[in-house]
Structure 1
Amino acid sequence: MTEVTGTAAGRARRTGDVVVLGGGVIGLTTAVVLAERGSDVRVWSPSPPEGTTSAVAGGLIWPYRIAPERQALDWAVRSFRHFSWLAEQPSATGVRLVRGRMPGSTPPAEWSALTGTPPRAPLVDMGSYLGYLKGRLEAAGGRWERRAAGSPAEAAAEAPTVVNCSGLGARELVPDPEVRPVRGRLVVVENPGVEEWYVAADGGARETTYLLPQPYGLVLGGTAEDGAEEREPDPATAAAIVRRCAAVHPEVAEARVLEHRVGLRPFRPRVRLEAERIPDGRGGSALCVHNYGHGGAGVTVSWGCAVDAARLVGPPEAGG
């Protein structure tokens, strides 16, 4: 079944049409950038935004588990500026600028210049933010469709330009064997009064420690389990997360658990952000722009990557 928001689908293939595959933060952000510059955009996603990996992300804007590092920093810096603008309307966007600390870390100078000392970084309530992105897409004339694609070529039969933002799904969709899951586990507890975020400087470790104060509770993390795909909560892992966080804020030990979250980060040795031509099923070809493999930093680099993906698509009047 196809669920369509916005104006009705089912029209002839036109030069300026773009289909974005994937309805997580990368897909929605890319679709917003394309729609706001005049492209006729449809987002195809088998799950609603709240059912994507993006929905369970902690939401701190900070480069984490993404390569290449230099390029990722550029994407993150550009995204930081947009998130700072969004933070001017936190109730509408779900984005706030929150002070925090990352002891033992020495961020790049470009990043420190943005965050200041002590650092103040955007913290995103992903449930609210994904809804904001979907609304912003629709306001720009774009549409969201509950629809799965078997390959980019399937979308190319309906639009001359396809943007592949399928995340972990790119393993099968492309297919791309370089994409692999890195499982993250979080515990959400009632906030006992923690107002600043905390991230331990152990970003490459399997077990990490961070506390993120969100409007709905205090997010405790976390794990980075390479290759793990099981999404069921694990009581022992959750208890270990709480213990590590309680070593930073002892009051967390007695906080009531509200929720367990498990997500699979779409890791790739290098983010794939490039264009190629693919068959369109009509005897011709279509432009396919790939934008996936952002690891644990999809939210952090989303706007920078979206703008670069839009450049690869080209101006609306140029078509595919």
Structure 2
Amino acid sequence: MKARKVTVVGSGIIGLTSAIALQEAGFDVRLFAKEKFDFTLSHKVGAVWFPYTIEPRKKVDRWAAVSYARYEKESEYAAGVSMISFLNAYKDLKDEEWIHQLPAGTVREATWDELPKGMKKGLIADVPLTEPPLYLPYLFDQFLNQGGSFELRTFSSLEEIASQDSLVVNCTGLGAKALCKDEDLHPMRGQILRAEKLDIPSFADPTQKGALSYIIGRSSDSIIGGTDYDQDWNEEEDPEDTSRILSRLRGFGIGEPPKILETVVGLRPKRSSVRFEFDRDFPSVFHNYGHGGAGYTVAWGCALELAQILGNSKTSLDGIAGKKK
């Protein structure tokens, strides 16, 4: 039987994992994007598996758990994937539902001497770290080696996307705002500092809205963050944000200021809830976007569930062709 065709639009972490999961499910996949993966938001971020809140909560917990398992397996062979010890500050343990999605014994309470200065409570877990400059090329090459095709292409409307002679998966991130006229989708601006590698355990403190703070130690550098400003379209470096980030770093008891290699700004695609569904008006289109600051955390969970949904879907190429007549 000839493999069913699927077109994935978008080459960030959501698009690449979706494309590969569909290939693994037996689909013939082509990938369209207005820019290659190394020019996407996904290439800019720290990309640690991190319980940064997005909705719907129950689905997100499931997607995150599936992604954790995939990354844990990939850490044995995939470029840029490793398991690291990560400390996450919290206020109320009952709000930390993510801990129940991890393998038993993975999470523990941080001891007082493990907490950075000023942090009152924290949880420590071994979590996946994916380094985008290494992992995204690995995924892209895997996709091509498994028979996938890639083409730079810009779409101006959802109608144009739906006109493809295949099922289509919309993984365009913030670009879906214009394509889908999605008023719920908006940017959450992130500014981070890429610094020389610091001899400091990786941690995050998301307890203060507008003052998201973290350090992620990678193989050859460290990522220091950050900001989480809603409805902020500014993609230029803000020197005041850099000062705030470094000031918060000092507040955690970090002594000497790090040598900053690069300042990076990206706009996360945030919605009240991840859009993960078939389009009502264009039934050949499945939407997979709006993952906010948790794209890497849930990417594989969404991708594998997507492949299962499309594999079981009654939508066929004959049906699509019939609607176009």
Please indicate the TM-score interval, normalised by the length of the shorter structure.
0.7 to 0.9
Q: What SS does the aligned partner of 1:314 have? A: helix
Other-structure match for 1:4: none
What is the TM-score with the length of structure 1 in the denominator? Answer: 0.86
For the 8 Å contact 1:171–1:177, the answer to whether it is kept is yes
The answer to whether residue 254 in structure 2 is matched with residue 262 in structure 1 is no
Correspondence list, 1:112-191, <5 A:
112-113=102-103, 115-117=106-108, 118-191=124-197
Q: CA deviation at 1:135?
A: 1.1
Other-structure match for 2:88: 102
Distance 1:103 1:170 in 2: 32
The answer to whether residue 288 in structure 2 is matched with residue 291 in structure 1 is yes
Q: What SS does the aligned partner of 1:302 have? A: helix
What is the TM-score with the length of structure 2 in the denominator? Answer: 0.85
Distance 1:26 1:124 in 2: 14
Amino acid in structure 2 at the alignment position of 1:110: H
For the 8 Å contact 1:152–1:164, the answer to whether it is kept is no
Aligned residues: 296
Q: CA deviation at 1:258?
A: 0.3
For the 8 Å contact 1:152–1:162, the answer to whether it is kept is no
**Residue from 226, 230, 238 that aligns with 2:242:** 238
Q: CA deviation at 1:166?
A: 0.8
Shift in CA distance, 63/172, structure 1 to aligned 2, threshold 3 Å? same
Q: CA deviation at 1:317?
A: 10
Q: CA deviation at 1:315?
A: 5.5
Distance 1:81 1:19 in 2: 26
Aligned residues: percent identity?
32
Other-structure match for 2:111: none
**Residue from 6, 22, 27 that aligns with 2:10:** 22
Q: CA deviation at 1:112?
A: 4.9
For the 8 Å contact 2:86–2:126, the answer to whether it is kept is yes
Residue by residue over 1:268-312, the C-alpha shift from the partner in whole angstroms, topping out at 9 and shown as x without a partner, is 001111113656xxxxxx611111111110110001111122223
For the 8 Å contact 2:3–2:26, the answer to whether it is kept is no
Amino acid in structure 1 at the alignment position of 2:44: V
Q: Any unmatched runs of 5+ in structure 2?
A: 109-123, 318-325
Q: What SS does the aligned partner of 2:284 have? A: strand
RMSD between superposed Cα atoms in Å: 2.1
Residue by residue over 1:149-196, the C-alpha shift from the partner in whole angstroms, topping out at 9 and shown as x without a partner, is 1223323333220101111011111121110000011011112322x2
Q: CA deviation at 1:247?
A: 2.6
Other-structure match for 2:205: 200
Distance 2:291 2:243 in 1: 28
Q: Any unmatched runs of 5+ in structure 1?
A: 1-13, 280-285
